[in-house]
Structures are given as structure tokens and as C-alpha cells.
Amino acid sequence: MKILLSGFGVVGKSVIQLLEEQRALLYAKHGLSPSFVGVIDSKGAAIDPRGLDTALLLETKEKKGTVGAMPAHGVRDAKEIDIITESEAQLLIEATPTTVRTPGPALERLKAAFRTGKHVICVNKAPLAVAFPALQELSRHNRCQFRYSGTVGGGTPVLALAEEVTRGCEVVSVRAILNGTTNFILSKMDKEGWDFDKALAEAQRLGYAEADPSSDIDGIDTATKIVILANGVLGRPCTISDVKIQGIRGLPLSTVQAARKAGKVIKLIAQINRDGLSVSPQEVPADSPLNVGGSLNCLGLELKTGGEVALVGRGAGGPETATAILRDLIDIWHSIGSAR
């Protein structure tokens, strides 16, 4: 399968490394032989319809800072959309780190892929948060496969398992912890008695939080994930504008301590019910499945006939997200094989 990769940061490099490690197994078990015919980063691109040398790709990125400097195949000034529309690739992996404030470029890349008949694996949450229903319709109209399991839960197959669990069951409500950074902060406040600022600083020191942690602590990241879950698993068309969002920025330690005295903990909860979609800090009983510590995520589903189901796992990270991409790739490969 010929693949075009957009985004060559931590996730993009992890994808290439994982596929190379698994190359023999992928062919033996699935008859799949992936070939990267194009890689785009923020400063350039590398293109070869015969397939790029992945070791040289990684070396060039490490030494030169861009794949655009790759000997013979590097391109410095080509437009991303032109590369996508003109590429012979069968599939686009969208792995750039955009935000819901600037989803436009990623959105245009996905549209260009679908319009030229390319299947898509997307681990960029932003375009899905603002235009999921439209992207899903465009993929169906052009008979393209669309997978995005790495957008929620990283390496933990949250979306796939949620879809399996809810098959044939009516979902009454969803309550979930979908952001490891905020869960780490709240866990430190609860267990160690730290105030918000100290817990946030520790999260940044350990690499859980970015220098600008707004997306995490203001609830935006969690909101994007609940939108993807609502659309992709529950078939509930919505965008991030439909979510009521309240983050944990500046949460008083006294609030956490009061909950603790009452036998509860404060968690940033993403919720879907009859009233709509919301993200807010809420009290959770200490013995609840949602009381997970550290940077763990938890998805809680209340089913009309199956009771309550909870799934716990680790969230995002380069290798973890690459694992999700690999699962999606295998899924698409078998889907298009069945169609043939």
C-alpha cells in the first residue's frame, strides 16, 4: 500500500519506525507491504513514487530538521494540497499537531485526500472536532475509508472497544476521563495536597503538559475527544460548538479537599446524555471506576440493558498513537480487500 504521511514529529517518526519493525509480520500475517511515497513536515517534503528510504528519511530529519533536505527527493517549496492531490498514494496519514483554533490547513488536507479517492487515517483531533459530520459524509461520498482511533485514548483502543460494547445496546449516558494531563494534576492535588499551580508545574516538568497548557486545563482537548466519541461511536452528529466546556484552570485546593472529606474525588468529566455534551470538573465517589490515578484515561458507559461498563488505559504518546495508526491501517487494508 502506498502511503502519504502529513506530519513528521514525534508521532510521524514513531509510525515509520513501527511499520519498519513490523514489516515482515505485516506481510506474513496480512499480506500488507506499506510504502511511504511522500512525507510532509512543516518545512518541506520528500517524494518518491517508488517508495522513500525510511532510514534516510529519519536521518535527514534528525540532521537537517526537515525531510525537504533529503537528497534527490527533497522538496522545499511545494504546496501541501498539490502534493496530496497529485500523489499516487492510496492513503493519507494526517498526524500534524494543530489546534481547534487553527484547524483549516488540516481540514483542507483531509478534504483533498477524500476528493482524490484516498483513504484517511487521522490522529489530528482538531479537524474532527469542528467538522466531523462533514468529513464523514465526504469520505462516504467518495467511497473512502476513514479511521481515527488514535484521536481518543492513544494506544488504548477506546473507540473500537466502545463500538463493540455498544453494538445492539442503547447507550443511556457516557462519562469519561479523556485527558491524562488534567487527571495527573487532579491526582496530585488529591493525593499530595498540592495546589493547582504546583501540580501543573510538575506536569510540565514531566512532559505531561505543554509550555502552554491551555488546551488541557481549559477542557478543550477533552471536548474534542467527546465530540469524536459522540460522532464515531454513538452516531450523534455534533461539533465542539455543541459542548458546554468548563476546565480546571485555577481550581482551588479547598474544593478538592472538601470532596475528599466527603469520600469523593474531583475529576474532569466528559459527559454525553439526553441534555447534551459537556466537560466540567465533577465530584466522583472514591470507589467509582472513574477514580483512576495519574495520567490514566477511563471511559464509562451506561447501557440500557447491559448495565455499566468501564474501560481504563493510557492516553496519548508517540509509540502509543503509532500503534493506533497501525491498527487502523490493517483495518483499512482488510476493508478494501473485502471490497475487491
Residues in the chain where the model's pLDDT stays below 70: 316, 338-340
Rounded to whole angstroms, the Cα distance separating 215 from 223 reads: 10
- Do 145 and 64 lie in a common domain? yes
CATH number at residue 269: 3.30.360.10
CATH number at residue 322: 3.40.50.720
pLDDT of 2 reads 97
Are 13 and 141 found together in one domain?
Answer: yes
298 within 8 A of 290, measured Cβ to Cβ? yes
Catalytic residue of the set 13, 61, 188, 225: 225
φ, ψ dihedrals at 38, nearest 5°: -165, 140
Write phi, then psi, for 243 (nearest 5 degrees).
-100, 130
Q: Given this model, what pLDDT does residue 188 score?
A: 96
Is the Cα dihedral 73, 75, 78, 80 positive or negative?
A: positive
Tell me how far apart the alpha carbons of residues 100 and 221 are, in angstroms, rounded to a whole number: 9
What is the rounded distance in angstroms from the CA atom of residue 258 to the CA atom of residue 266?
10
Check whether residue 139 and residue 23 sit in a common domain.
Answer: yes
Q: Are 170 and 149 found together in one domain?
A: no
Question: Which residues have CB under 8 Å from 53's CB, separation 6+?
Answer: none
* 66 and 94 Cβ atoms separated by less than 8 Å: no
Q: Give CA–CA dist 263/265, Å, rounded.
A: 7
The count of domains in the chain is 2
* Burial class (CB within 10 angstroms; exposed 0-12, middle 13-18, buried 19+) of 263: exposed
Which residues constitute the domain of residue 252?
158-314
What single-letter DSSP state applies at residue 166? Answer: T
C-alpha cell at 109: 488536507
Say whether both 87 and 191 belong to one domain. no
Residues 14 and 150 in one domain: yes
* Close Cβ partners of 285 (under 8 Å, ≥ 6 residues apart): 263, 264, 291
Task: Judge if 39 and 125 occupy the same domain.
Answer: yes
According to the model, what pLDDT value does residue 231 have?
94
Residues 247 and 291 in one domain: yes
Whether residue 61 lies in the annotated active site = no
**Same domain as 148, residue 291:** no
Q: Note the pLDDT of residue 243.
A: 97
Q: Does one domain contain both 197 and 302? A: yes
Side chain identity at 136, as an amino acid letter? Answer: Q
272 in Cβ contact with 226 (< 8 Å): yes
Please check whether residues 123 and 242 belong to one and the same domain. no
Do residues 302 and 312 lie in contact, with contact meaning Cβ atoms separated by under 8 Å? Answer: no
pLDDT at 208: 84
Q: 177 and 199 share a domain?
A: yes
What is the predicted pLDDT for the residue at 147?
96
